[in-house]
Chains A and B, each alone.
Chain A
Amino acid sequence: MLMNGARIVLEALAREGVDVVFGYPGGANMPIYDQLYDHHIRHILMRHEENAAFAASGYARSTGKVGVCFATSGPGATNLITGLVDAQMDSIPVVAITGQVPRHLIGRDAFQEADVFGITRACTKHNYLVKDIDDLAQAIHEAFHIASTGRPGPVLVDITKDVQNAKLAYHAPGPIHLRGYKVSLEGHAGQIRKAAQMIWEADRPYVYAGGGIVASGASEELRELAEMVEAPVAETLMGLGSLASEHPYCLNMLGMHGSYAANTAISNADLLIALGVRFDDRVTGRLEAFARHAKVLHVDIDPAEIGKNRLADLPIVGDVKHVLRKLNKILEETKATEGAVKADSRRQWMAQIRGWQQQHPLLYTPSETEIKPQTLVQEIDRLSGGEAIVCADVGQHQMWAAQYVRFNHPRLWINSGGLGSMGFGLPAAIGAQMGNPGKTVFALAGDGGFQMSIPELSTLASYGLPVKIVILNNGYLGMVRQWQELFHNRRYSSVELDCFPDAEKLAGAYGMKGRTVAQPRELRPALQEALDEPGPYLLNVKVSPEENVYPIIPSGGAVNEMILFEPQKEAVSS
C-alpha cells in the first residue's frame, strides 16, 4: 500500500513499539503531525522543544524503552540540543525526529533552515539526514537499533519535508546490519575467569556501580555479586537504586557529595570492581589520589571508556548484565574453595566500613523555626518509602535528594547527571509519568530550575498528569551560592532569585492546585495534600536560604580533603 513519508515514519515508530511521543509541530514537520491526527500513537504537546527532549529522556530513563521526540526544522530542532547532549552524557536511548526544509531549498538559507545534521553530529550517538524516501524506513529502524543497543544514546533523524510528502509502500527492513557498529555483549571468558580470581584474592573489594547497571538491567546480578562476595556497593549519581538503598551492603552515593563511608572505603579498598561507570571527575576528584591502593577491574560495554580516566588492571568489554551472570556463576562455584581464603578479611573490611558509617553518618542540624532542605527531602523519602519516582532538577536539592531519598529499584531516580542541565526535572517528570501512569512521580526542583520550566505547568494541566512538583525554594541559585561562599569569599554574585511567583496563584492560573509553606509544622500536611490531590500539584517550600550540601569534596580535590559538615567550613574557606 502506498503511503506518504510521514505515514511511514509513524508505521516504523509503531513497529518499534512506540506508543507516546513528545513534541512540537511547525512548518517542516506538518505532514507528520497531519498523520498523527488520527493515529493511535499518542502525542504530548510540550510547551518548548527542549522540554520535549527532556520528557522523552524522562520516559526512557523511567521505562527503559526508547523515548521519542518530534520537532520542526530550524529553531525547533536547535531547541532540542540541550536535551540531546543530556541524553548523550547519560547514555539514554532517545530518538529525535525533526522536519527539514524541502530538499530543493536546502543550502539556500530557506525560512527556518538550519544545518541540523551538522549541528547535532556532536551531540548524538549517530544522526541521519533523509533526502530520499527510499531511505526513510531504514533510517528510522536503524535509529532505534543504534539508540537502544550497545551503550545507549540519542539518535536524530532529520527528514526533508518533500520526503514526508513523497509516496512509497512501507516495508519493514530485515535484521539491521551496520558494518561499523559491533556490540560485544558477552565479555571475554578468560578475562571473566581472571576477574573471579582477582575478587577472591582481594582483602578489601569495593563495588563501584553506575548507570550501566541501570541501562543493562543488571540490578539482580549486582545484588547476587554483593551478597556472594560480601562486598560493599557504592553507587554513582546515575546508579542510585541499582542496588536497593536499604540493602545491607549498599553504601549509597560516592563522590563529591557522597557519604563519608563510601568515599573513605574507596580510598582504602584494594580492589575496585567498577561496573558500568566512567570514572567521572565528580566521582574521582583528583585522579592521582583516587582509590590509589586499589587494583581496578572495569566492566563496560563501551571500549572507549576503558582506560579513559583510570587505567584498568583487568578490563572486560561487555554488557554488565551478561558479564555479571558469568562472573557470578564462577564465583558461586569457587566460593567454598578460593572464596574461603580471604573471607575473614572481607568480613573485617565490611565491619570497618560499618564503623565509618556510624562514625560519620549524613548530618545536618534540624530546626523548629525554619524548614531545613534536608528535612524536606527526608519527608519525601518517608512518603516514597523507596518506591516513588523522583525526578530532580539540578543543584543542591538534587544532591540532597540523592543523599537522603531511598530507592528500592532502579529507574526511580531520574536526573540530569552528566550534563547537569537545569530545567530538566519537570519535563522529565512529565515523561516519567506518561511511562508510569500508576506511579507517584515527584518533580523536585530548586526555585531556579523550576523557573526554567514554568511553561510546562500548562502541559501538566492540559493532560491532567498527577505530577507532584515540590520546589525547594531557598531564594538562591543555591549550589552556585554555596561555591561562592566556600571558594569565592562569600561574594554572592548574581545568585539571588527574588520575585518568585506566588505558588497558589501561579498554579491557579493554570487551573491547578498549589500552595507555599514556610513553617516546619506545615510541611507534612502540605505534602500529604499534594499526594491526595488526584491531579498535579505545585508545592513551594521555603527552606533555610543558606544551607549547604555536605559532605563536599572540593572540585579537583582528594577524598581526604572532604568537608564533612558545616562547622568545619570556616577552616577550609580561610
Chain B
Amino acid sequence: MQQLISILVENKPGALMRVVGVLSARGYNIESLTVARTLDPELSRMTIAVEVEAAMRPLLVKQILRLINVVQILDLTDAPVVCRELMLVKVEVTDQMREALLKEAEIFRARVVDAAPGAYTLEATGASEKLEAFLELLRNYGDIEVIRSGAMAMPRSTVDGRRGGKKKDLKNVRTDT
C-alpha cells in the first residue's frame, strides 16, 4: 500500500535530494512528490507518496526525520487528511464534441485554461481517484496529454496541528517515546 508522508524541510540546496536519497537508497520508487515553500520562507513542505511495505514504514519515517534538514515529518497514510492533486490535460476535440466536453468538464469542476483549434486545455483539481475518472472520460474525445502535480495532503486539524486525529507529529515523539 502507498505510504503518504508530509515533510517540513529546511529550504536549502540538497535538502530534497537528502529526503529522496533515503527512499532511493532502499530501492523505493516514489509515486509522486510535491514540494514548495511554506509561509516561513526558510521552510518547504513536501508531500511524498511512495510504495513501502507496512513493516518498514515507521523506520523510514524515523530515518527521514534523522536528516539534519528535516524539521518535521508526518505519516499521513492512515490519518484523516485532505488530499488534492492538480492536473492539466490537453484534449483533442472536434468542433462537434466541444459542447459535450464542456458539460463533462463542469461535472468534474474542471476549467478551460486554454483553447486552440482542435484542442482544449483543462485544469482539474481533486482527489487522485476523481482525476483518474475524469481522464477515463476524456479519452473518449480523442488523444490526450496530461501533466499531474502529484498529491498534496494536509491533515484535518487545527491550524497549528495540535489536534490531528491519528496523525503523529514525530518531532514530538523524537524527544522520547
Contacts and interface: CB of A to CB of B under 8 A. Distances in A.
A joins B in a complex: yes
Interface of A: 117-118, 121-122, 125-127, 129, 146, 178-182, 184, 187-188, 191, 302-304, 306-308, 315-318
Contacts of B13: 129
Nearest to B68: A126
Contact of A184 (B25, B66, B174): B174
A129 B14 contact: yes
Contacts of B9: 180
Given A179-B42, A182-B171, A302-B66, A317 B21 contact: no
Contact of A307 (B10, B21, B59, B171): B59
Given A121-B21, A307-B58, A182 B175 contact: yes
Contacts of B59: 304, 307-308
B68 A303 contact: no
Given A117-B14, A318-B176, 18 more contacts: A121-B21, A126-B68, A129-B14, A178-B68, A179-B10, A179-B42, A179-B43, A179-B71, A180-B70, A182-B171, A182-B174, A182-B175, A304-B62, A304-B63, A307-B59, A316-B176, A317-B174, A317-B177
Interface in B7-47: 9-10, 13-14, 17-18, 21, 25, 42-43
A303 B174 contact: yes
Interface of B: 9-10, 13-14, 17-18, 21, 25, 42-43, 58-59, 62-63, 65-71, 171, 173-177
Nearest to B60: A304
A317 B175 contact: yes
24 contacts: A121-B14, A121-B17, A122-B21, A122-B25, A126-B67, A179-B10, A179-B42, A180-B9, A180-B10, A180-B68, A180-B71, A182-B171, A182-B175, A184-B174, A184-B175, A303-B65, A303-B173, A303-B177, A306-B62, A306-B177, A307-B58, A307-B59, A317-B176, A317-B177
Contacts of A182: 171, 174-175
Chain B, interface SS category = mixed
Contacts of A184: 174-176
A181 B18 CA distance: 14
B28 to A, nearest CB: 14
Nearest to A142: B68
B68 A125 contact: yes
Considering the complex of A and B, which 10 residue pairs feature the smallest CB-CB distances, nearest first?
A188-B176, A304-B62, A126-B68, A180-B71, A184-B175, A304-B66, A180-B70, A181-B68, A304-B63, A179-B71
Nearest to B61: A304
A187 B9 CA distance: 26
Nearest to B13: A129
Contacts of A179: 10, 42-43, 71
Contacts of A178: 68
Q: Which of B21, B63, B68 has the most CB of A within 10 A?
A: B68
Contacts of B171: 182
B17 A118 contact: yes
A179 B11 CA distance: 11
A125 B70 CA distance: 13
A187 B176 contact: yes
Contacts of B177: 188, 303, 306, 315, 317
Contacts of A126: 67-68
Contacts of B25: 122
A307 B69 CA distance: 23
A11 B136 CA distance: 64
Contacts of A306: 62, 177
B18 A121 contact: yes
Nearest to B176: A188
A126 B173 CA distance: 22
A126 B12 CA distance: 13
A188 B173 CA distance: 11
Contacts of A191: 176
Contacts of A118: 14, 17
Contacts of A307: 58-59
B145 to A, nearest CB: 31
Nearest to B175: A184
Q: Which of A126, A178, A180 has the most CB of B within 10 A?
A: A180
A394 to B, nearest CB: 23
Nearest to A316: B176
Contacts of A315: 177
Contacts of A308: 59
Contacts of A125: 68
A103 to B, nearest CB: 13
A122 B65 CA distance: 15
Contacts of A188: 176-177
Contacts of B17: 118, 121
B5 to A, nearest CB: 15
A178 B67 CA distance: 11
Contacts of B70: 180
A303 B14 contact: no
Contacts of A129: 13-14
Nearest to B171: A182
B71 to A, nearest CB: 4
B135 to A, nearest CB: 36
B14 to A, nearest CB: 6
Contacts of B65: 303-304
A307 B59 CA distance: 8
A191 B71 CA distance: 25
Q: Which of B18, B25, B62 has the most CB of A within 10 A?
A: B62
Given A121-B21, A180-B10, A146 B175 contact: no
Contacts of A303: 62, 65-66, 173-174, 177
A129 B18 CA distance: 14
A307 B177 CA distance: 11
A129 B13 CA distance: 9
B21 to A, nearest CB: 6
Contacts of B67: 126, 180
A93 to B, nearest CB: 14
A180 B12 CA distance: 12
Contacts of B10: 179-180
Nearest to B170: A303
A126 B21 CA distance: 13
